[in-house]
Amino acid sequence: MHDLSEALGTAAWLILSLDRDLIEIVSLSLRVSLTAVAVAALIGLPIAGALALSRFFGRTVVLSGLNALMGLPPVVVGLFLYLMFSRSGPLGALGLLFTPTAMIAAQVLLIVPIIAALGRQVIEDLWADLGEQLRSFGARRRQAIGTLLWEGRLALLTVVLAGFGRASAEVGAVMIVGGNIDHVTRVMTTAIALETSKGNLSLAMGLGLVLMTLSLIVNGGAFVLQNAARRRSGG
């Protein structure tokens, strides 16, 4: 118990004094996860729209496959990208292994299925609502998808945040492809894992507190924003 309170105290101090290592790790984490979410949204949302509006043979199989991919084990994604990016791998020439770019790629792979699968449901519900009217207007499929993405922006924000939650919280993939190199690829989750195993609990807890606070702020803020917007626009 004594250890815990001492660690908490040091953690608070690290945060309040804006410890340089801590800031560096936090900002790299944010950079990696935010970029990953942005890229994954650009890929995942159009897939969501296309899947929502199309009917083809084997669609159910594709949808269940996509849903299954939401649960991709991060370490497996890490391993897969490690093999792709390693010197002898097919993408070895790019020299991306142990770089933040590789970590972004790993997180993108992890969250594209989440955004595509959850977004598909949102857009399909909207299509049930607006579809006839949009078709009556003569909207082409591509135009309709764009409109639905905009109409569903509030609900889709939650979907994208679910992706951000997954990206910022996972350890396995970024540990493998990033390597947790100090000052280069060390992010909050990998640093917490490392510092804990080294017995340096105060830094680990400081980072843990920051990680928790950030995700609470992001999700809480989005909830407030959504509620306000929903009330104003009539849902």
C-alpha–C-alpha distance, residues 41 and 159, integer Å: 9
- Is 47 a residue that touches other proteins (CB under 8 A)? no
Using rule CB under 8 A, residue 137 touches other proteins: yes
Cα separation, 81 vs 92, whole angstroms: 10
Query: Residue 145 in contact with residue 54, Cβ under 8 Å?
Result: no
**Taking CB under 8 A as the rule, which mask of x and - marks residues 92-131 in contact with other proteins?**
-------------------------------------xx-
Of 13 and 137, which CB lies nearer to other proteins in the complex structure?
137
Q: Does 235 bind other proteins (CB under 8 A)?
A: yes
Region of 101-109, 111-119, 138-146, 207-215 interacting with other proteins (CB under 8 A): 138-146
Q: Measured from the CB atom, is 139 or 209 closer to other proteins?
A: 139
Number of residues in contact with other proteins, rule: CB under 8 A?
Answer: 16
> Binding segment for other proteins among 72-80, 97-105, 133-141, 188-196 (CB under 8 A)?
133-141
What x-and-dash track marks residues 142-161 binding other proteins by CB under 8 A?
-x---x---x----------
13 belongs to the binding site for other proteins (CB under 8 A):
no
First-last CA distance in the chain: 48
Between CA 195 and CA 15 the distance in angstroms is: 16
Please spell the DSSP secondary structure of 133-188, one letter per residue.
HHHHHT--HHHHHHHHHHHTHHHHHHHHHHHHHHHHH--HHHHHHHTT-TTTT--H
Cβ atoms of residues 36 and 104 within 8 Å? yes
Which residue in this structure is represented by tokens 């639905």? 148
* Chain contacts with other proteins (rule: CB under 8 A): 129-130, 132-133, 135-139, 143, 147, 151, 232-235
